[in-house]
Structure 1
């Protein structure tokens, strides 16, 4: 399917290396014309040269530069059919050691950047009558030690996907999110960390050494193609071997206790009683809340 995306124009942010570079290469191999965006201008030019694309060093956290980025795509290719919101900053810090300036920068790139890119690309796609957007979230949003700021930004991208898919559906634009698991410079750093004790015998990053970014790229290409027609508002976890649909039923039959009138004592009884066994594991390592840990012992 080398011509799967023939005639399509796609912007990939954060495409100078790692996953973004792999996405750009795979999209181009399937016929797409790609704008390779990265704040590292040299890396953007290198990747663009490798695939015959257009390089962009626009900063996605700056509204004016985002508009210029989308204009670059339209100016070069006459259209804009796909956006991969991949640009992001990784950040580690314990909550009580956070630096406000670092928080602001991570949120500006990871969240504001994706919002701005989606808004600007969405205007063009709406006028064209269609398109597709892929937002790069992360399994970190489910909980990972010392990355609460980063995790919060990736959770925001999942929420962005669910909500904006509703708005874009009427104008023919599909929006999906992915949680890629691959060996990159970011995950190489995480591999060297001491993780908190896990309730599972399988570490959160087990086997990642054998998962290069290139194995993730086909999912992005698929989601930007007509083969994914009708697939929108979804969140997929992918490690190059297993692809999973992350369930998001907001109206599920959640464990609950009903009372005509609650007070603090009644709530305490409920959480000591029937709700205690229903408390959920948290974090990618599936750590149990203390009440459940005590019961198991």
Structure 2
């Protein structure tokens, strides 16, 4: 089931999209522009950013390119400011830029570990903080972060998954921080056959083949929806689009029922695990949880 969106759902809006030189980011930028928004196309690669922006302009949209390394606090600030200076406001931010590297724990090297954290977590936080400051000042705005199914646990991607779990937590917390200001913060968990999928396939061989046939463009309608007023009641959510499947992500939570004791000992804890918790231990890895809607 779907509700047709107004063709110019984002008319009059100005949106910054990071990592939009190619792949998912470029697909988001094209869709956001087609929905009527002016777009600041960011990428660390100047030529890629200009190529995406030029394609939007050639199609009749409004866009400018702005190369920047979002792991630099000042560059992230200038990126957000570019949108305000160019288009008069910042109505939306899509925190898409990311870095992906695979390693088993015993083989992990410090350089890719640090770069993954810097881009995925620090860069997302830096752009978000600078954007949210301006959104509070202007009294409106939407942030769409990008998480990943990897945050649930997947072999050889612990560091990447940890950064994406951090992005999910930023989403939950920022949504609460911004609620009183009328600013919404959500996250998407996209799935597509991109360079990341290729890296995974190269690392794991045939066992790593995934996302075949899933074009980046399939994820773009979700971004447009979350940026638009159609999602005015949605905030603090992680939404996954996996080809034909649309689903909500769960939030971290403590399981009920809890067990209580005035003086926990090692033996008492062991008894609880042996008699109760053993039946409720949570499986690791990417999975789904069924929920029921009660009348």
TM-score (structure 1 length as normaliser): 0.88
Q: Match of 1:89, SS?
A: coil
RMSD of aligned alpha carbons: 2.0
| Pairwise CA distance, 1:125 | 1.1
Question: Which residue pairs with 1:152 in the alignment?
Answer: 162
Q: After alignment, is 238-247 or 203-212 more displaced?
A: 203-212
SS of corresponding position for 1:123: helix
TM superposition shift of 1:112: 0.6
Secondary structure of the residue that 2:93 maps to in structure 1? Answer: strand
How much does 1:174 deviate?
A: 0.4
The aligned counterpart of 1:290 is none
**Distance in 2 of aligned mates of 1:277 and 1:191:** 35
Mapped partners of 2:281, 2:209: distance in 1: 26
Deviation at 1:185, TM superposition (A): 1.0
Provide the residue aligned with 2:231 in structure 1: 228
Which residue of structure 2 lines up, in the alignment, with residue 212 of structure 1?
A: 215
Q: Secondary structure at the match of 1:55?
A: strand
User: In the comparison of the two structures, how many residue pairs are matched?
Assistant: 278
1:15 lines up with 2:20 in the alignment: yes
> Which residue does the alignment assign to 1:125?
135
Counterparts of 1:25 and 1:241, CA distance in 2: 21
Residue 268 of structure 1 corresponds to which residue in structure 2? 270
The reply to whether residue 72 of structure 1 matches residue 75 of structure 2 is no
Contact 2:202 2:208 in 1 (8 A): no
Structure-1 separation of matches of 2:233 and 2:207: 32
Unaligned ranges ≥5, structure 2: 1-5, 58-62, 289-295
5+ residue gaps, structure 1 = 196-202, 287-297
Query: What's the counterpart of residue 92 of structure 1?
Result: 102
Tell me how far 1:193 sits from its aligned partner: 4.5
Question: In the alignment, which residue of structure 2 is the partner of 1:180?
Answer: 190
Q: CA deviation at 1:254?
A: 2.6
Q: Deviations over 1:137-185 (max 9, x none)?
A: 0010000001111011000000000001011111121000111111111
Aligned ranges 1:160-199 → 2 under 5 Å: 160-194=170-204
Taking a change above 3 Å as real, the CA distance of residues 120 and 159 of structure 1, as seen in their structure-2 partners, is same
Q: Name the residue aligned to 2:283.
A: 281
Q: Is the 8 A contact 2:197 2:210 kept in 1?
A: no
Which has the higher mean CA deviation after the structures are superposed, 50-59 or 256-265?
256-265
- Which of 38, 42, 63 is the equivalent residue of 2:43? 38
Contact 1:255 1:278 in 2 (8 A): no
Structure 1 residue 102 displacement after superposition: 2.0
In 2, the alpha carbon distance for the partners of 1:43 and 1:102 equals 22
CA drift at 1:99? 1.7
2:136 aligned counterpart, secondary structure: helix
Partner of 1:200: none
Shift of 1:27: 0.3
CA–CA distance in structure 2, aligned partners of residues 59 and 207 of structure 1: 29
- Counterpart of 2:3 in structure 1 is none
Match of 2:246 in 1: 243
Q: Which residue is equivalent to 1:199?
A: none
